[in-house]
Structure 1
Amino acid sequence: MAVPIVRRRTAALAAGALVVASGAVAAALSTTSAEAATSGCSVNYSVTSQWDVGFGASVTITNTGSAISNWTLGWSFAGNQKVTQGWNATITQSGASVTAASLSYNGAVASGGTVNFGFNGSYSGSNAVPTSFTLNGVACGGTGTGSGGSTGGTTPPTTPPTTPPTTPPTTPPTTPPTTPPSSGARVDNPYVGAKGYVNPEWSAEASGDGGSSIANQSTAVWLDRIATIQGADGKMGLKAHLDEAVAQANGQPLTVEFVIYDLPGRDCAALASNGELSATDIDTYEHSYIDPIASIMSDPAYSKLRIVNIVEPDSLPNIVTNASGQAGATDACATMKANGNYEKGVGYALAKLGALSNTYNYIDAGHHAWLGWDSNFAPAAQEFLKAATSSGATVHDVQGFITNTANYSATVEPNFKVTDNVNGTSVRSSKWVDWNNYVDEQSYATALRSELVSVGFDSGIGMLIDTGRNGWGGSGRPTSAGATTSVDTYVDGGRIDRRVHAGNWCNQSGAGIGARPTAAPAAGLDAYVWIKPPGESDGSSQAISNDEGKGFDQMCDPTYGGNARNGNNPTGALANSPLAGHWFSAQFHQLVQNAYPPLS
């Protein structure tokens, strides 16, 4: 049963407000051109309120030259001021330099006309006002006159600074902009009130392989190598998908999902989805992969779409558990932890993509059977925070986290709880649970969200759960807990997740399609989503030569006896599987057959 929508974001912006990200490139964010005011401009910069660690400011531009159709105002702070929230402009900051760019509704300014925007900021020490401004590259005259004074203009502020609040405000000024907000401004939950993008390529595969009943469901598009940005192997590229999304939206809200997945040294604990970039290729990742993606997504033609970015599955969880000191440790993960390129890459992606006003970044957070133990849970939150504050990113560039990406863990185990006891023995001691604190994804995601907020992430973050392959229906689905003979018979007889071991991840036998994509299914959850499109392989069951950088992992071989990460158990993988991401008909048929809820 769905829970009513909970408006969680206590720091939600007022109408028309835009989240501001530091370290972004203005050209990738605005619709401005290089035109200049032919005669000049004046700027009134007013500090409207100030307290011990923050301030609010209002900026009015007067165009004293010829009419302009859009504008970009630039200035530099003299101190350590940082813009934290803005409205009526797209505001970006790199070091001391700040750029404010017009939106779709306020770019035109007649000769002699004015336009206003505002922002909140943080500072320590002195809060000196800027001393000079440029409008579309042309310097405006005038100098700063002090806190609350005017800069480059002839009119002082009409009201003095207000009395500093006793505590810093958590929301921008309550007065909304007088002009309508851009339709691309962020909303509380990008899935609520929006259609989901139907990838026509996946839809055609599904419909042509016995899945017509789900061919209209929304699935994510994986950008798993540089070539996929423009389109590889005859498939649609990023721009083509965005163009199709605009057509499907037909003027209505639509959410389209992309998986950002090409880190240097990618997937250091597995081989099936290794990537094309070496462990040290961080510059290539940033400038040949992330920059082109951000450039395409910033096109004004896509400003009304809600673009969800799933940021680098498996990367940060690998740093937590597989870099050193645990049974799953690998030399490759130790290398990535030492060089910091996972954190640098994730931070760069968050900063660049988060600077766009209509994007939503969700960091991958593994799953309950990976990070649910005490030894992993809190360290994971700290690792996520480290990445989210690297390479110019801030926590404000993160709209949420996703669990169970491309995995099979049940959303909810309906027949037993982690708090259950059998004859005085805790369920946690069972072989399946193995002292984990969680037995399913929803309980894990909810608890992780609280932990993430406690370490510094915004209180409004939402969680996603990938339900594309975790339904576990069919004739083998238990309807009640198992016998109370022992804690193991109780758990094993009742669990709907029928894998041999919860560490098994490749093309799992017996799996079924799970809950259909659903907005706001429970408190704290933004959506159930299908990020791993059903029918796309996790990896090949034997070595296959390819030019995609993908290797062969024995966990995809049904004859392999397992390793330390899965307790030396059989893999449970299906036979005859193709490369990761390629269509796997046998798996798709199984998923459709075992769907839960059943397909009509």
Structure 2
Amino acid sequence: MQLSRRRRRLALTSVAVGALAATGLTFASANQALAEEGCEVDYNVVSSWGGGFQANVVITADEPINGWEIKWNFPAGTTVSNAWNVGWTQSGTGFTGKDVGWNASIGSGQSREVFGFIGSGSSATPGQFTVNGDVCNGPSNPTTPPTETPSETPTEDPGGGDKVDNPYAGAQAYVNPIWSANAAAEPGGDAIADQPTGVWIDRRSAIYGNGSPTTGSMGIEDHLDEALEQGADVIQFVIYNLPGRDCAALASNGELAADQIDVYKSEYIDPIVDIMGQAKYADLRIVNVIEVDSLPNLVTNVSPRATQTDNCNTMKANGNYEDGISYAVSELGSLSNTYNYLDVGHHGWIGWTNDDPQYDNFHASAALYGDLIGMNGMTADDVHGFITNTANFSVLEEPYWEVNQNVGGKPLNQNGDVKWVDWNAYNGEIDFATALREELIDNGFNSNIGMLIDTSRNGWGGDYRPTGPSTSNDPITFVDESRIDQRYNKGNWCNQAGAGLGERPTVSPEPGIDAYVWMKPPGESDGSSQYIPNDEGKGFDEMCDPDYQGNIRNGNNPSGSRDNMPLSGHWSSEQFAELLENAYPPVN
């Protein structure tokens, strides 16, 4: 039976503890210091417990900042025990934080979550902040969180035809009450239960609510209505139901056969467009992530590649991936309140650049996306940006080594013995997403496109996280002892054991990056560890079997997957607990 809207709101309130305006993806904050002299600070308490709390700090700059120092005075008795991404000192109640180099720059009109910390004592917002000596007024604590900040000023209301440059900036993000309740029910989960996550529309019945274990009976319209009641400005959906979906991974196969493109258009995309286009949602920014793990397969897993699969060859031949995606982007892009981000894999899949087409994934993928322009009336204006690492585990960056670093007399990415690198030009999502953005622009997309990076499971904290570079002169040992990503191979994608939550959802963390997002809801499975009969169209993929020793697509390495996992999209308490334990930055 479908929950009434009142009951859903009560469930959300009980787990989020009124913290929607202080969500980690801080687009608007109830604890906001407004600028007198061109600076703005958001001091966001994202979780609290007996005697302690975690807070994140966001700086918004009216003018460019190249190096920052922030100061405030805590309430008496409040102390910091741990902080990340900041050089900090505390003397009495006085706190001083300085950038650590890579996070020193904040562009004009840009908001950036600069650091986070763990404190004990009072979590009340300090009365005054200074940034580089400029005073920012004390907390305004508005009753209703603002829907717009100086970091994002659209020329018109987003429902009126002019879309903002970054839909996440200055926005309060929607928290899915179903995921939030699942998270809060787990030990320690209430610390992150107020985070915004993607809502996956993975089959036609999900449009209207199909009662599955993790989505309940909420359909798209239910989520949109709930977003309005939350006072949210932005909501995130994953459009994921292509014919012959995910042709190289059986665990996430879908309900539509390879030739059912007409059904995809008329019974899946068209109803979604009709719902999202309703007038009551005109002021809501709707982010749509379009068809995860689809088009890159047409580059890497088709003939004459050794990694080819029959299903991917079929989809390459019939053209229904390109047809379906271009149709979805064109139809959704025609709405004034939608923001389309196309999925483009991750650096461990698409990061190879080579003059030989058989080994070039990077340029070939960007060209394939560019070929979509003009199909089904799709234009470059229909694409707001692209997303990397969706539902994957690739780290943002490896701080202790570079791919072109010389170890043992040869650059790591030119040494075929170093299988972790394997000639890949990138070792993290920030560099990859930044470079791919430029390549996509060169292939016809607008120069102001933004990138998203899914950080829901790429933290890799815990006891195995290195604290510095290896001292070994052996290149294989050096990389293995220095790398944060602990997988056997970058091609391992299913329920990876040892993974942790990554950076909390954050707006404008890097130039060209619109946001870090949790598009994959932490705790939801990638696929079952063994075959489970189901009516969801989901098969069994050996990459989800912890005993599987691999194939050519993962370099014939062990799968690295967790055991006893349910069907894709279903909840796993064990996986959620591990993600929480290995979170980096840590949750508590």
- Assess same fold via TM > 0.5: yes
**Cα RMSD over matched residues?**
1.6
Which residue pairs with 1:465 in the alignment? 453
The 3-state SS of whatever aligns with 2:190 is: coil
Shift in CA distance, 353/313, structure 1 to aligned 2, threshold 3 Å: same
Once the two structures are superposed, what CA deviation does each residue of 1:321-376 show, in whole Å capped at 9, x if it has no partner? 11112232101100101110000000000000000111100000000010100111
The 3-state SS of whatever aligns with 2:519 is: coil
The answer on 1:277 being equivalent to 2:379 is no
Which residue pairs with 2:106 in the alignment? 4
Q: Specify which of 339, 347, 355 is matched with residue 326 of structure 2.
A: 347
The answer on 1:393 being equivalent to 2:378 is yes
What is the aligned residue count? Answer: 429
The 3-state SS of whatever aligns with 1:521 is: strand
Which residue pairs with 1:326 in the alignment? 305
* Contact preservation (8 Å) 2:158, 2:336: no
* Contact preservation (8 Å) 1:515, 1:597: yes
* Consecutive unaligned residues in structure 2, runs of 5 or more: 1-102, 111-153, 354-359
Which residue pairs with 1:239 in the alignment? 221
Separation in 1, partners of 2:307, 2:494: 16
Which residue type is aligned with residue 492 of structure 2? N
TM superposition shift of 1:183: 5.8
TM-score norm. by structure 2 comes to 0.71
The answer on 1:433 being equivalent to 2:421 is yes
The answer on 1:379 being equivalent to 2:364 is yes
Separation in 2, partners of 1:377, 1:358: 31
Shift in CA distance, 579/184, structure 1 to aligned 2, threshold 3 Å: farther
Separation in 2, partners of 1:476, 1:180: 48
Q: Which runs of 4+ in 1 moved over 6 A?
A: none
TM superposition shift of 1:2: 6.6
Separation in 1, partners of 2:492, 2:200: 22
* Contact preservation (8 Å) 1:385, 1:456: yes
TM superposition shift of 1:385: 1.3
Matches within 5 A, 1:65-214: 182=159, 185-210=162-187, 211-214=189-192
Matches within 5 A, 1:211-230: 211-230=189-208
Which residue type is aligned with residue 396 of structure 1? D
Separation in 1, partners of 2:468, 2:373: 42
Separation in 1, partners of 2:524, 2:459: 16
TM superposition shift of 1:487: 1.2
Which residue type is aligned with residue 404 of structure 1? N
The answer on 1:420 being equivalent to 2:393 is no
The answer on 1:586 being equivalent to 2:565 is no
The 3-state SS of whatever aligns with 2:342 is: strand
Larger Rg: 1
Which residue type is aligned with residue 196 of structure 2? S
Separation in 2, partners of 1:455, 1:579: 37
Separation in 2, partners of 1:469, 1:185: 34
* Contact preservation (8 Å) 2:158, 2:337: no
Identity, in percent, stands at 58
TM superposition shift of 1:396: 1.2
Which residue pairs with 2:281 in the alignment? 302
TM superposition shift of 1:6: 6.3
The 3-state SS of whatever aligns with 2:481 is: helix
Shift in CA distance, 560/188, structure 1 to aligned 2, threshold 3 Å: same
Separation in 1, partners of 2:460, 2:158: 44
* Contact preservation (8 Å) 1:319, 1:333: yes
TM-score norm. by structure 1 comes to 0.70
TM superposition shift of 1:424: 2.4
* Contact preservation (8 Å) 2:254, 2:537: yes
Once the two structures are superposed, what CA deviation does each residue of 1:453-489 show, in whole Å capped at 9, x if it has no partner? 1111100000000000000001110011123321111
Which residue pairs with 1:451 in the alignment? 439
Which residue pairs with 2:13 in the alignment? none
* Contact preservation (8 Å) 2:238, 2:290: yes
TM superposition shift of 1:180: 7.3
